[in-house]
């Protein structure tokens, strides 16, 4: 698509209209970039803040052609963009990040194979299509282990922990016939993530590494600084940058990592790649001069990236379900910044907004 690449970008097409799309559209607007959001849900949070929107399924070629006519480049806020949708658009205009980022992150087996190919440690894994594959895999990897669907899993959905041989059949049945991956159990003590932006020119920018705390499989807090040993943090950065470079990614990506403490010291194990802005980077909105959302929009628009200067220490708290019932209570809190996603209906487990609590640093990091 290099013939299209020189066109100055003024308008960005966005596949997906959730909170991530909303925050990217807001960040883009500050740079003079107009967003047109395509999403099948007529109540999409991103529609309210975008210059234009299209309500249509991702497979609707007339709607995709309409989007392509209205924008200079297309990006997305979720990794499950159908391959045919990305290909249809890529024949007409640049799609950033490109197809490799989607291919690898849509399938846990492709993802782990890719990571292992880069020499990045992962949980030991085996492909599972049949009950016999699962039994053979368990004989090799041992107990406990985790069985996951290869595709469409998130927030712990499509996963079953296998603690004993008695759990095997139920775990296999929980996959409902979908291709799966068996992973050895990683005895991690903490979860962290690395957020890297890669520009059209290949330049890499990596944010400070947050520690992430989950409740019921959903991210609840991200905290920076994370207190990792400097060498561990440096290794996390190298992982994010190696992944972004190998994928020729353009935009922000996140790699979720487990921290394992061994007698020899801290060890990192990569779990998952998100080829997009990520919930564990929402703190950058308040603690950095240039947020992950702006970094992503800059990259996809072919604009220069900035050093990820962090002026504050920060804790991001996700407002999930009822946490968002009385949001005014966060407004008077010193050092707190509330961001609501404009969702009208509160549902258990639904991400409604977040609060960033900052403590300014005497000397910014960056
Ligand atoms: P995932 O959907 O792969 O991000 O996994 C969701 C959560 O399940 C992770 O954040 C971990 O807490 C846990 N988990 C996933 N895979 C493993 C594993 N191989 N070993 C231990 N815990 C895991």
How much of the chain, in percent, has pLDDT values that exceed 90? 94
* Residue 349 banded pLDDT, cuts 50, 70, 90: very high
pTM of the predicted model as reported, rounded to 2 decimal places: 0.95
Q: HEC profile for the chain?
A: CHHHHCCCCCEEEEECCCHHHHHHHHHHHHCCCEEEEEECCCCCCCHHHCCEEEECCCCCHHHHHHHHHHCCEEEECCCCCCHHHHHHHHCCCCECCCHHHHHHHHCHHHHHHHHHHCCCCECCEEEECCHHHHHHHHHHHCCCEEEEECCCCCCCCCEEEECCHHHHHHHHHHCCCCCEEEEECCCCCEEEEEEEEECCCCCEEECCCCEEEEECCEEEEEEECCCCCHHHHHHHHHHHHHHHHHCCCCEEEEEEEEEEEECCEEEEEEEEEECCCCHHHCCHHHHECCCHHHHHHHHHCCCCCCCCCEEEEEEEEEEEHHHHCCCHHHHCCCCEEEEECCCCCCCCCCEEEEEEEEEEEEEEEC
The confidence score (pLDDT) of residue 6 equals 52
If you take atom 6 of ligand 1, which residue's CA is the nearest one?
156
- pLDDT, tens digit, for every residue of 223-246? 999 999 999 999 999 999 999 999
What are the structural domain ranges in the chain?
Answer: 11-95, 124-184, 190-360
Digit-coded pLDDT (tens) for 151-181? 987 767 789 999 999 999 999 999 999 999 9
Give the atom of ligand 1 at the shortest distance from the alpha carbon of 185.
20
Average pLDDT of 266-272?
A: 97
Q: How remote is the CA of residue 225 from the centroid of ligand 1, in Å? A: 22
For ligand 1, pick from 183, 189, 270, 271 the residue to mutate: most ligand atoms within 8 Å of CB.
271
- At the fourth CATH level, the homologous superfamily of domain 124-184 is ATP-grasp fold, A domain (3.30.1490.20)
- Confidence bin at 3 (pLDDT 50/70/90): very low
Nearest ligand 1 atom to the CA of 158 is 2
Distance 341 CA to ligand 1 centre (A): 27
- For position 366, what pLDDT does the model report? 77
Class of domain 190-360: alpha beta
Determine the average pLDDT of the residues in 260-288: 97
Residue 2 clears pLDDT 50, i.e. is over it: no
pLDDT confidence tier of residue 256, bands split at 50, 70 and 90: very high
| pLDDT value, residue 1 | 45
pLDDT number for residue 7? 58
Ligand 1 atom index nearest CA of 186: 20
11-95: CATH architecture: 3-Layer(aba) Sandwich (3.40)
């Amino acid at each position: 698509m290099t013939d299209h690449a020189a066109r100055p970008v003024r308008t960005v097409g966005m596949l997906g209209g959730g909170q991530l799309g909303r925050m990217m559209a807001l960040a883009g607007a500050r740079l003079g970039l107009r967003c047109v959001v395509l999403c099948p849900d007529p109540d999409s949070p991103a529609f309210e803040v975008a210059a234009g929107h299209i309500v249509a399924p991702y497979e609707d070629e007339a709607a995709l052609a309409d989007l392509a006519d209205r924008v200079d480049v297309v990006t997305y806020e979720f990794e499950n963009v159908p391959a045919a949708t990305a290909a249809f658009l890529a024949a007409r205009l640049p799609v950033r990040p490109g197809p490799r980022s989607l291919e690898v992150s849509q399938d846990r087996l492709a993802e782990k194979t890719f990571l292992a190919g880069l020499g990045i440690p992962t949980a030991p894994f085996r492909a599972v299509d049949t009950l016999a594959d699962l039994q053979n895999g368990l004989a090799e990897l041992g107990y406990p282990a985790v069985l996951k669907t290869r595709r469409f899993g998130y927030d712990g959905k499509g996963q079953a922990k296998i603690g004993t041989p008695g759990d095997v059949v139920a775990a296999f049945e929980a996959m409902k016939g979908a291709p799966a991956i068996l992973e050895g159990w990683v005895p991690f003590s903490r979860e962290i993530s690395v957020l890297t932006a890669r520009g059209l020119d290949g330049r890499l920018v990596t944010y400070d590494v947050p520690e992430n705390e989950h409740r019921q499989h959903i991210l609840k807090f991200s905290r920076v600084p994370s207190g990792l040993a400097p060498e561990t943090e440096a290794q996390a950065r190298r992982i994010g940058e190696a992944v972004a470079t190998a994928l020729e990614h353009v935009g922000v990506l996140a790699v979720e990592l487990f921290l394992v403490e061994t007698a020899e010291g801290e060890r990192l194990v990569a779990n998952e790649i998100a080829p997009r802005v990520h919930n564990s980077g929402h703190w950058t909105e308040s603690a950095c001069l240039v947020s992950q959302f702006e970094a992503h929009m800059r990259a996809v628009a072919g604009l220069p990236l900035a050093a990820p200067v962090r002026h504050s220490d920060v804790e991001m708290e996700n407002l999930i379900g009822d946490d968002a019932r009385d949001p005014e209570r966060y407004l008077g809190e010193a050092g707190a910044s509330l961001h609501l996603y404009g969702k009208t209906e509160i549902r258990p487990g639904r991400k409604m907004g977040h609060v960033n609590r900052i403590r300014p640093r005497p000397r910014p990091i960056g």
